[in-house]
C-alpha cells in the first residue's frame, strides 16, 4: 500500500515538474477581454481580438510593461447580455488589471454594472448607445464613438446631397440595444432638425437578427416609396438587406450607424448610395495608422480569408486601448504580484484623466461620462469601396 501511495505521489510530482514551475504563469500582467467571439456579434469580436493581440505582441516585443509581458485572458460572452455578466465576473475572479469589452451595447448594458460593482475597469471599443458609461461611473469607459455626433454630421451631409429628399423609412433589429437607440433616440432629432420625416416612427419595421430572407421587408419598404432608408441593423444583417434591396431594385440612398465600414458591406451595397460613419480613418496618412492597418490586413487575410480585412473603429479602439492600459500599468508600476484592487484603481484614474492621447490618427480625450471624444468621419460606399466625405 505504502509503495503504491509513493508511486502516486511520485507520478503527481513528475507531472507538476513537467507542467513547469507555477511561478512562470504568474510572470505576466493580465488584461481581460470580454468579447463577442460567437453569436451575432462574432464578426466584430474576432477582429477586435486580433487588433488587441497585435498591440499585445508589439508591446511584449518592446520589453513589455515594467519588465513583464502582458497576457490576455479571454472570455467569450457569446453575444449574450447574460453571458457578458458571467464573463465579467470570471475576469474579476481571474484577477485581471483591466477589461476590454464588451463590444456591443446590448452586452455593455449588463456587463458595465457588473464591472462597476466589481471595481474593474471596463473599456468598450464598439458600444455607441448613449448613456451607458454615464450610468455606470466611475469604472466604465468607451473608446468607441459618440453616436450622436456621427449621426448629426451624417444626416446634415445627407441633406446637402439630397436637398429634395423628405421621407425616411427605418428598419430596426428590435433586440439590439445599439440599433434600437439609433433608430428610436439618436436619429429622429437629427432627421427632424434637417427637415426629414421619419414616416414609420410609430411603426418601425422590425427585422430580428436571425432573419436570412429579407424579401418581405424590402417589398414592404418599396411600397412605402421612401426617399431614404435608415438601417438599424448589425452589419451582417445589413449586408443581407442591401443584397435583397438591390435584387428588388430598391435603389434609394440608405444610411446606417456604426460598424458598417467594412469592404464586405460596400460590396453588398452595389448600386445603393450607402452612408455610414465612424471615428477612424483606415486610409489616414499617419504612419502609426498605416502600420496598424497593414499588419491587421495581412493577418486578417491569412487567418480569416472570407471576412473583412480593413480594421474598423472597433479594432482601432482595441489597439489603442491596449496601449493606453499598458501606459497605465507602467505608471502604476504594476507587477504580477501587485494587488489587483490597487492597480485597477490606478488604471481607472489614468483613463479618467486621459487628455489628448495620440491614438491612431487622432488625439483622444476621455470626457466626464467616460467616453472618448474622437473625430467624426462620414463615409459613402461607391463602387464597392468606402470613400470619406
Q: Which residues bind other proteins (CB under 8 A)?
A: 37-39, 42-43, 46, 174, 203-206, 210-213, 215-217, 219-220, 222-223, 236, 239-240, 243, 247-249, 264, 304, 306-307
How far is residue 238's CA from residue 209's CA, in Å, rounded to a whole number?
A: 10
Q: What's the min distance (Å) between Cβ of 232 and other proteins? A: 13
CB 196 within 8 A of CB 188: no
Residue among 171 and 347 whose Cβ is closer to other proteins: 171
Q: What's the min distance (Å) between Cβ of 16 and other proteins? A: 30
Residue among 23 and 223 whose Cβ is closer to other proteins: 223
Residue among 139 and 217 whose Cβ is closer to other proteins: 217
Q: 331: alpha, beta or left, given left = phi > 0 and alpha = psi -120 to 50?
A: alpha
Q: What's the min distance (Å) between Cβ of 192 and other proteins? A: 23
Residue among 43 and 107 whose Cβ is closer to other proteins: 43
Q: What's the min distance (Å) between Cβ of 210 and other proteins? A: 5
Could you tell me which residues come within 8 angstroms of residue 292 by beta carbon, excluding any fewer than 6 positions away?
51, 54, 311, 316, 319, 360
Q: What's the min distance (Å) between Cβ of 329 and other proteins? A: 31
How far is residue 163's CA from residue 244's CA, in Å, rounded to a whole number?
A: 27
Burial class (CB in 10 A: 0-12, 13-18, 19+), 361: buried
- CA angle, 199 as apex, 195 and 203 as ends, to 5°? 145
Residue among 189 and 208 whose Cβ is closer to other proteins: 208
- Which stretch of DSSP H or E encloses residue 295? helix 287-303
How far is residue 44's CA from residue 200's CA, in Å, rounded to a whole number?
A: 29
Q: What's the min distance (Å) between Cβ of 332 and other proteins? A: 36
Could you tell me which residues come within 8 angstroms of residue 363 by beta carbon, excluding any fewer than 6 positions away?
356, 357
Residue among 65 and 204 whose Cβ is closer to other proteins: 204
How far is residue 126's CA from residue 321's CA, in Å, rounded to a whole number?
A: 12
DSSP character for 374? -
Residue among 3 and 213 whose Cβ is closer to other proteins: 213
Q: What's the min distance (Å) between Cβ of 239 and other proteins? A: 8
Amino acid at each position: 500500500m505504502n509503495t503504491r501511495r509513493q508511486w502516486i505521489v511520485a507520478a503527481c510530482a513528475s507531472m507538476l515538474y513537467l507542467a513547469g514551475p507555477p511561478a512562470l504563469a504568474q510572470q505576466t500582467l493580465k488584461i481581460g477581454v470580454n468579447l463577442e467571439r460567437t453569436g451575432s456579434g462574432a464578426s466584430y469580436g474576432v477582429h477586435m481580438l486580433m487588433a488587441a493581440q497585435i498591440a499585445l505582441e508589439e508591446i511584449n516585443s518592446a520589453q513589455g510593461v515594467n519588465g513583464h509581458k502582458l497576457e490576455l485572458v479571454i472570455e467569450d460572452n457569446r453575444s449574450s447580455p447574460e453571458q457578458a455578466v458571467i464573463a465579467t465576473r470570471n475576469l474579476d475572479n481571474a484577477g485581471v488589471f483591466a477589461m476590454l469589452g464588451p463590444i456591443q451595447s446590448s452586452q455593455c448594458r449588463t456587463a458595465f454594472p457588473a464591472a462597476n460593482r466589481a471595481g474593474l475597469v471596463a473599456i468598450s471599443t464598439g458600444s455607441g448607445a448613449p448613456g451607458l458609461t454615464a450610468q455606470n461611473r466611475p469604472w466604465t469607459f468607451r473608446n468607441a464613438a459618440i453616436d450622436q455626433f456621427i449621426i448629426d454630421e451624417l444626416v446634415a451631409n445627407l441633406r446637402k446631397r439630397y436637398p429634395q429628399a423628405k421621407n425616411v423609412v427605418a428598419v430596426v433589429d428590435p433586440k439590439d440595444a445599439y440599433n434600437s437607440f439609433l433608430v428610436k433616440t439618436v436619429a429622429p432629432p437629427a432627421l427632424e432638425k434637417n427637415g426629414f420625416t421619419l414616416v414609420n416612427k410609430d411603426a418601425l419595421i422590425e427585422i430580428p437578427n436571425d432573419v436570412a430572407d429579407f424579401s418581405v421587408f424590402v417589398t414592404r419598404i418599396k411600397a412605402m416609396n421612401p426617399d431614404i432608408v435608415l438601417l438599424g441593423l448589425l452589419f451582417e444583417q445589413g449586408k443581407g438587406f442591401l443584397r435583397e434591396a438591390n435584387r428588388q431594385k430598391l435603389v434609394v440612398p440608405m444610411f446606417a450607424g456604426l460598424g458598417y465600414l467594412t469592404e464586405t458591406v460596400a460590396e453588398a451595397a452595389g448600386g445603393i448610395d450607402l452612408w455610414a460613419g465612424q471615428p477612424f480613418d483606415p486610409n489616414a496618412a499617419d504612419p502609426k495608422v498605416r502600420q496598424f492597418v497593414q499588419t491587421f490586413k495581412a493577418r486578417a487575410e491569412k487567418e480569416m480569408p472570407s471576412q473583412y480585412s480593413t480594421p474598423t473603429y472597433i479594432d482601432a479602439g482595441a489597439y489603442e486601448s491596449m496601449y493606453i492600459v499598458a501606459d497605465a500599468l507602467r505608471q502604476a508600476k504594476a507587477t504580477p504580484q501587485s494587488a489587483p484592487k490597487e492597480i485597477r484603481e490606478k488604471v481607472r484614474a489614468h483613463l479618467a484623466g486621459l487628455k489628448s492621447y495620440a491614438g491612431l490618427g487622432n488625439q483622444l480625450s476621455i470626457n466626464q461620462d467616460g467616453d472618448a471624444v474622437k473625430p467624426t468621419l462620414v463615409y459613402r460606399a461607391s463602387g464597392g469601396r468606402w470613400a470619406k466625405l
